[in-house]
């Protein structure tokens, strides 16, 4: 089995933007683990985070399948790649797009650039898996930012998504997120059939992000 993923979405948390994004990324880079630690950062912080945390995998939180030219404010995948991104989230619950947007993005990015498409439920996960992104991450919107991990609040949606995605394509990895905070949440996510987790507040709202990060990978 390949190394489990721990993707930390910095969102626009105050503790994870600007200079704080650089410190948090450095804390992630310093965690000793066999897991793949990935920071999903604001496009504005991308270059600075890549420079501050060499060796850490850095993803965007969103990209647009646009060409070069007249596209004010849109996020061109090639710019992200040139600035050091190795992947992106897309269709996050807080930044929904059409299936067509996801499909066009997948067509546009190079093979090695990873795309994690987010889904609210099993149905959406199945539809996204058919487009063959690298990962589908299931995150029930009502549990995002909450105190209870999806792995405890709704384990069936995690195992159901894992099964549905595998049925569609063996090439698509599965992540889950919403309320994930501890090593036992991560280990339960793996037991339920995923390759890892996507989380935010468990790290960004922690008093000590390094302690939270070490806990997350403690049972892997
Ligand atoms: O993208 C991760 C996210 O939506 C889950 O957020 O705060 O519940 O870990 P959180």
Closest-lying ligand 1 atom to the alpha carbon of residue 178: 8
> Mean pLDDT for the chain?
97
pLDDT digits (tens, 9 = 90+) for 5-63: 999 999 999 999 999 999 999 999 999 999 999 999 999 999 999 999 999 999 999 99
- pLDDT class of 2 with cuts at 50, 70, 90: confident
138 CB within 6 A, ligand 1 = no
pLDDT of residue 129: 98
What is the total count of domains within the chain? 1
pLDDT digits (tens, 9 = 90+) for 75-94: 999 999 999 999 999 999 99
How does pLDDT run across 127-138, given as a tens digit for each residue? 999 999 999 999
3-class SS at 7? strand
- Ligand 1 atom closest to Cα of 137? 1
Answer yes or no: is pLDDT of 173 > 80. yes
**Cβ(40) to ligand 1 under 6 A?**
no
Residues of the domain holding 93: 5-216
Ligand 1 center to 179 CA (angstroms)? 6
Q: Is the pLDDT of residue 1 over 80?
A: no
Ligand 1 centroid, distance to 69 Cα (angstroms): 33
Contacts for 70 with CB less than 8 Å, ≥ 6 apart: none
204: CA distance to ligand 1 center in Å?
10
pTM above 0.85, yes or no: yes
pLDDT digits (tens, 9 = 90+) for 110-164: 999 999 999 999 999 999 999 999 999 999 999 999 999 999 999 999 999 999 9
Q: Does residue 139's CB lie within 6 angstroms of at least one atom of ligand 1?
A: yes
CATH of the domain at 205: 3.20.20.70
């Amino acid at each position: 089995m390949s190394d489990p993923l721990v993707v930390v979405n910095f969102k626009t948390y105050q503790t994870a933007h600007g200079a704080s994004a650089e410190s948090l990324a450095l804390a992630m880079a310093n965690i000793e683990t066999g897991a793949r630690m990935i920071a999903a950062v604001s496009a504005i912080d991308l270059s600075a985070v890549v420079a501050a945390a060499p060796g850490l995998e850095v993803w965007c939180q969103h990209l647009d399948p646009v060409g070069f030219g007249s596209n004010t404010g849109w996020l061109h995948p090639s710019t992200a790649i040139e600035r050091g991104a190795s992947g992106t989230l897309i269709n996050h619950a807080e930044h929904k797009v059409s299936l067509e947007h996801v499909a066009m993005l997948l067509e546009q990015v190079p093979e090695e650039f990873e795309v994690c498409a987010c889904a609210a439920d099993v149905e959406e996960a199945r539809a996204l898996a058919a487009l063959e992104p690298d990962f589908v991450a299931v995150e029930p919107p009502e549990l995002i930012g909450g105190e209870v991990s999806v792995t405890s609040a709704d384990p069936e949606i995690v195992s159901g998504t894992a099964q549905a995605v595998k049925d569609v394509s063996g090439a698509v990895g599965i992540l889950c997120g919403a309320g994930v905070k501890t090593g036992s949440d991560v280990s339960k996510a793996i037991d339920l059939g995923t390759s890892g987790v996507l989380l935010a507040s468990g790290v960004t709202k922690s008093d000590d992000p390094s302690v939270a990060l070490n806990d997350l990978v403690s049972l892997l």
